[in-house]
Each structure stands twice: as structure tokens, then as C-alpha cells.
Structure 1
Amino acid sequence: MRLGVTVVICTYNGAALLPETLHHLAKQRVRQGIKWEIVVINNASTDHTAQVALEEWEKHQNDIQLTLYHQPKQGLTFARELGFKKASYEFVLFCDDDNWLNPDYINLAYDVMLKHPNVGVLGGYGELLFESPPPYWAKQYRLFANGPQASTSGKVPNNKVYGAGFVVRKTAYELLIKAGFKPMLTDRKAGYLSSGGDYEICYAIALAGYDIWYDENLVFKHFMPQARINPEYYIRFIKEGPESFEVLVPYRVRANSQINSSAVFYLKLVKIVLTYTLKLIPELLRKQRVSPDSEEASLLTLKIMSIKSKIFIFRSHATMKENFLKIKRFEQHNLKAYKMNRCVLRNPEKKTLKPTPYKVYKV
């Protein structure tokens, strides 16, 4: 795989957002010798996204190539898949159409990924930038990808970083594909707000034996248009978001605990539900003590609704268990040989294993 950085922008109806995002990419201070490119994936947009992407980049008269591809299949997961396929370089940086990367972002990402070959996914630090002054509850309630992802730079303990601005090692992703990996989540789909595809990639790559990292120096602005800053949007996000838990909770348990038993998996589910319940109780009590018309009450309403939505999704515990077993089989039967062979490349004295050709378990 060729060393370099492919910046992938997956966008749906992003005509209004792309100009500023591309402007910040044009201002990247990339060192001589680092090869990079931009790939825009137009995910079934109904506006002038494609035209805007090409015309805006042309304005900057930049020598870096921008290539536009069309993914007619709705869903951020499908857009990312096409981005991986079209990427020319080893380090694939997913820049959302509302992410404004700091000038040294590509340099820093390249350096970290090159220095640490076992890093499969690298996350950065997003700073929310509101189009207009937000209400109190929007500033206090962390809904979008932003803020630190660990207490310090390095390997993250929970094996996940948010997808905005994250960098994926293409050989790690291709290892998953060779092993039969099929994402279970479509991620964001047009106006539908359920997501989680970024975490699914992180967990799957962690199961393949790679590290998931965070670097506090990888800073970007996450632009928040006024249209998103309203209670209706937040409520939709809160209600639709936890639907991904049917997939992400089994991944989380397997990637972070290496549990094999279904009984122990159920105990983990009970523990998670109890944790959410213990968070819910003080919020309910706090809401009783504030004025119903206050901004604090609005904030508490969102927090309570979010916790309840997360608890209610555990009614799908049977589906979670089924997905857990699929993930476990995929790791044990499909990924095992590939993980062993990666070990051999680092430790040649170890014996290699051939991938099992006769049965493929898909997740």
C-alpha cells in the first residue's frame, strides 16, 4: 500500500457546507514528501453537492487532486465503503462535510500512523463551532462528535473514537474485508439520524488485533448549522440514535471484555442497564427541584429522554445476544488466522496459519 493520506468526504446534500470544508483543506500545510489526495463521495444527494464540490476546489487552484464519486446507495456506511475502495493511500482520513481541519491535521495524522504501525484507527479532538449563539441546553448537552476522547493521547481504553476526523489504516480495513466482514449498520441515512458505523469500524478493527488511538493535537472545528440547534432535531437524534445499540453493545462487550459465554453476556447487559438507571434517578430528582420553564429544565428533559431511550433499547436483548454470537464466531473463525499471520510478520519465528477457506461467518 502506498504511503500517504486520502481525505474522504462523505456527503449527503452538503452543497451549503462543502465550500468552507474544502477551504480548510486547501489551507493544509502538508510537508513536502507527504502524498495526499481528496476523494468526495456524493451519497445520493438531491441538491448541487457534486457541482459545488468540483467548482469550489477549482477556485483554490490547488495542485492536490480532488476526485468525485457517486454512491447511489443511501447510507454513510456505503459511502465509506466506496471511499475505502477509491483511496490511493494507506491512511484514510474521514473528514465530514462540516469538519474544518486545523492546518497541520494531515501532517500530524500521517506522523502518528507512520510511527505506530499497530494503530488501526486514530481519532482527533473536535471543537463545536455554532453558526449562531446556541441556547444553554445545546451548549451543555454533548450530542455531537466533540471534545477529548481519552484523558491523554495514546491508546484509548474503550476501543472507539468518533468518526468525525478519524483516520483508518487501509490495510487494517482490507484485512477485515478479506476475512468476510460485512457491516451490520448503515449509519446515517439521508434524514435518518441513527448512526454508529464509525464505532462498528473501530470495534471490528480492534478485534483484528489493532490499537485504537486518540491524539489531542489532531484538532478540528465541528461546524453546527443553525438548523440542527433546535429541540426537535435533538429529540429525533436522541430517539433514533440508540437503535444502533443492538449492534454496538455486542461489539463493545466482545472487544473490551473478550467474553465467550452467553450467560456472562447477559450479566453484562444487566450491568449496563443498571448503570443507566443509576444515572437516570438523580436527573429525575434534580428536575423536580428546578422551575419547569427554566433552561435547566430543558437540559434535564433531554438528558432524561436520552437515558430512557438507551434503557428501552435493551428490550431487544435477544437480538443483541444473536449479534454477539455472530461477532464472536467471526472473530474466532475468520479473524484468527489473519491475526496470527500479522503476529508472524512482526515475529517471524511464529508459525503461520492459513485462513479457513470452507466456511465464512459474516457480521
Structure 2
Amino acid sequence: MIARLAMELTVIIPTHNPDLRRFRATLEGLRRQTLAPARWQTVVIDNASTTFPVAADYSDVSPANLRVVHEPQLGLTSARRCGFREANTPFIVFADDDNVFAPDYLANVLAIFSAHPRLGLIGGKSLPQFESEPPAWSREFFPLLALRDLGDTEIISNGLRPAGAPQNQYPSCSPIGAGLAARTAALKPWFDRPAALSDRRGADLSSAGDNDIVLCSLRAGWEVGYFPQLSLTHLIPSARLDATYLARLNRGIQKSWMQVLALHDANSWPTISSWSLPLRVAKMWWVHRAWLGPVERIRWQGARGHFEGRVQ
């Protein structure tokens, strides 16, 4: 039996019908971690998968202390909450099933938290490895794909409402969900509050969960930070560069972004009436000239989601 109480860190991997090639690469990246195996564990959350081979043998690529836990309620939030219950360690790292951590990722997580006692959540670089060369027009939308590089300088937030700010603000250095590392104590305010927003759930491309975690932690008095020594590779299949997918993704992200900011008193945009929504969406069709091509259509869908998220 794994002595979980003696461990310091749990890697939680929520997965729903994963691509097995990318999933194996994720596990292999964890297997190569320099942090001593006795100090950490991996918990894979099988989130209502219909094709995921729970009983498959991954011994050739799996890290030490791997467990698979089934969560029948579909949704990323449900899977993360399940992982939180299973962790029972002072620190948690969330990984997607297409993330490959640099070998020193987990060791760096513990070192950073040791040096910065007020930090509750941290993240770093998420760099792409594309299955095929992305079309030039798609580069504008790379941030939608959980890709991020804020440079080579550490950045730490200065609170939820910096001095002189008229309302709460979302720090630009906040970690994204891929590779998000947390003190368990900083995640507890999010875990203890009933889920108020939808997150990724099957084909639903809402994406407010990461932001909700960050804002709950900030409201509890913790700080968040960006550390370039935390680096992961995001394996991106060609289908995620499809214009129709990116349009749906932009709409879902912008809608949920407005909703989570409003929930935490951090939205500078006022609410709008539902009757005005069709008019605003139609206007944005013309403003963005959505008929011209994929870039314009994706921008328009983002504007559409923005207004949908502001409906009172």
C-alpha cells in the first residue's frame, strides 16, 4: 500500500477518452522526473471514459506510485475535485493528458513553494508540439490552446485588488490549468465552495475552471506567480487547429471568462439585457467581417461569447 501521508506532492491527471499515444507520452514525462519517487505520486482520474482502458498495462512508461481512480460524473471540475479528495499531500500539480513535463518540473515546484511561503498557485511555460505545421492564420489563436510563454523573468502577483484598483483584478501572471501547481491549503477554498460555473465537459468548451481556482485562492489571501523554470510541452493534434473548432473554443472561453470575472467582482464590463444580445451579435458580425475567412469568423465567435457571458 502507498504511504500517501508521507508523500509531499500529487500529480492529478483528469482524462476523458484520451488519445493513448499522447497519454503515454504524458506518463513517460512523469517517469523521467528527477524528484525522488518516494516524495510524490500520480493519480489518474478516469472521468466517465467509454474508451479508456483502465486495466491497461502502462508499466513500461508509468511513473512510480500510479493509481487510477474512476469518477463517473463527467466534467473537468468533477475530475479535479475527485483528485483533490484522493491526493492527501501538501502540494498538488494538475496535468492534462497531453502535457509532457520537463524532467525537473516537480523538483522545481517544491523548491519554489519552499522559497515563497505566500504563494498558493504557480505555473510556467506551456510550449507547443504540433502534430502538423499550423496554418499561418492560426497563430493569433494559440493562447486559446493553453499555450503560454511570459518570458524568462519570475512574476508574482500583488493581491486580488492592488492598491488604488477600483475592483478585483485577475493577475496576468496567473497559472493556466495545464501544469498548475498548488498548495493544497490554497485549493481548499475552491474545493469547499459548491461549483458555481461549468467547465470543460465532453464536447462543451466552457473553460472557467482554471480562473475560478485562481480567484478563489486570491480571495483567501494567497498570491499566484509565473516561474519560467516550470516548463511543459503541450502535444497538439491537427484537429485543434481546425477553424470550426477554434471558433467554438473562442466562444466558450470568452463566455465563461465574463461569467467567472462577474462571480468574483472582477469584471469591468457591465451586464447587458438578454433582449439586446441578438442585436449586439449581429453588429459584431459586421464589425469583424465574419464572412471573409477563418480569422474573422473566430474573432466574431469570441465577441459573441463575450456578450453571451454578460447577459444578466
Q: What TM-score comes out, normalization by structure 2 length?
A: 0.81
Does the aligned pair in 2 maintain the 1:42–1:49 contact within 8 Å?
Answer: no
Provide the residue aligned with 1:86 in structure 2: 86
**Aligned-residue offset at 1:193:** 0.9
Rounded Cα–Cα distance in structure 2 between residues aligned with 1:234 and 1:73: 26
1:304 aligns with 2:308: no
Cα distance in 2 between the residues matched to 1:87 and 1:269: 38
Cα distance in 1 between the residues matched to 2:195 and 2:157:
22
Does residue 5 of structure 1 match 2:9?
Answer: yes
- Give the C-alpha shift of residue 13 in structure 1: 0.5
Matched residue type, 2:200? R
Match for residue 218 of structure 2 among 193, 206, 209: 206
Aligned to 1:29: 34
Question: Residue 252 and residue 300 in structure 1: after superposition, are their counterparts in 2 closer, same or farther (change >3 A)?
Answer: farther
Q: Which has the higher contact order (CA 8 A, sep 6+)?
A: 2
CA shift digits 1:230-265 (9 cap, x unpaired): 1121122122233324531224534xxxxxxxxxx7
Contact 1:4 1:35 in 2 (8 A): yes
Return the alpha-carbon distance in structure 1 between the equivalents of residues 53 and 18 of structure 2. Answer: 6
Is 6-15 or 226-235 further displaced after alignment?
226-235
1:3 Cα deviation from its structure 2 partner: 5.9
**After superposition, what is the alpha-carbon deviation per residue over 1:117-168, rounded to whole angstroms, capped at 9, x for unaligned?**
2111111110111111111122332211111358841313634321110011
Kindly state the Cα deviation for residue 2 of structure 1 after the two structures are TM-superposed.
5.5
- Counting only pairs closer than 5 Å after superposition, residues 176-215 of structure 1 correspond to structure 2 as 177=191, 180-215=192-227
Structure 1 residues 176 and 248: CA distance shift in structure 2, 3 A: closer
Aligned counterparts of 2:175 and 2:271: Cα–Cα separation in 1: 23
Q: What is the CA distance between 1:186 and its match in structure 2?
A: 3.3
How far has the Cα of 1:60 moved from its partner? 3.5
Is the contact between residue 43 and residue 73 of structure 1 (CA under 8 Å) also seen in structure 2?
yes
Match of 2:242 in 1: 230
Q: 1:220 to 1:9 in 2, by over 3 A?
A: same
Q: Which residue of 1 aligns with 2:165?
A: none
Q: State the match for 2:128 in structure 1.
A: 128
SS at match of 1:253: coil
Is residue 45–residue 71 contact of structure 2 (8 Å, CA) maintained in 1?
yes
Given the superposition, is the C-alpha separation of residues 135 and 309 from structure 1 closer, same or farther in structure 2, using an over 3 Å criterion?
Answer: same
What is the aligned-residue RMSD (CA, Å)? Answer: 2.9
Higher helix share: 1
Q: Could you report, residue by residue, the CA deviation over 1:80-112 in whole angstroms, capped at 9, with x for unpaired residues?
A: 001111113211000100111111101111111
Matched, 1:172 2:214: no
Q: CA deviation at 1:313?
A: 2.7
Question: What is the CA-CA distance between 1:176 and the residue it aligns to?
Answer: 5.0
User: What is the CA distance between 1:217 and its match in structure 2?
Assistant: 1.4
Displacement of 1:225 in angstroms is 1.0
Aligned ranges 1:66-81 → 2 under 5 Å? 66-81=66-81
Q: Aligned AA for 2:256? A: S
Amino acid at match of 1:310: H
Q: When the two structures are aligned, how many residues end up with a matched partner?
A: 283
Is residue 267 of structure 2 the alignment partner of residue 248 of structure 1? Answer: no
Distance in 2, matches of 1:311 and 1:151, equals 35
1:50 matched to 2:54: yes
The 8 Å contact of residues 48 and 72 in structure 2, kept in 1 or not, is answered as: yes
Q: Is the 8 A contact 1:39 1:87 kept in 2?
A: yes
Name the TM-score, length of structure 1 as normaliser.
0.70
Kept in 1, the 8 Å contact 2:7–2:39? The answer is: yes
* CA pair 141-15 structure 1, distance change in 2 beyond 3 A: closer
Letter in 2 for 1:7: V
CA distance in 2, matches of 1:248, 1:239: 14
Q: Secondary structure at the match of 1:168?
A: strand
Structure 2 residue ranges without an equivalent (≥5) = 159-169, 273-279
Find the counterpart in structure 1 of residue 99 from structure 2.
Answer: 99
Tell me, yes or no, if the aligned pair for 2:206 and 2:256 is still in contact at 8 Å.
Answer: yes
2:197 touches 2:260 (CA, 8 Å); kept in 1?
A: no
Verify the 8 A CA contact 2:152 2:228 in the aligned structure 1: no
> Which residue of 2 is the match for residue 154 of structure 1?
155
Name the CA distance, whole Å, in 1 between partners of 2:190 and 2:309: 28
Gaps of 5+ in 1: 255-264, 319-363
Which letter does structure 1 place at the counterpart of 2:60? K
| Aligned partners of 1:2 and 1:88 also within 8 Å | no
Helix, strand or coil: the match of 1:244? Answer: helix
Q: What is the identity, as a one-letter code, of the residue corresponding to 1:59?
A: D
- CA, structure 1 residues 299+4, in 2 after alignment: closer, same or farther (shift >3 Å)? same
Residues 299-318 of structure 1: CA deviation (Å, up to 9, x unaligned): 2332233134313432x1x3
- In 2: Cα distance, 1:140 partner to 1:33 partner: 40
Amino acid across the alignment from 1:21 = T
Between the aligned partners of 1:85 and 1:222, the Cα distance in structure 2 is 26
Distance in 1 separating the partners of 2:87 and 2:211: 20
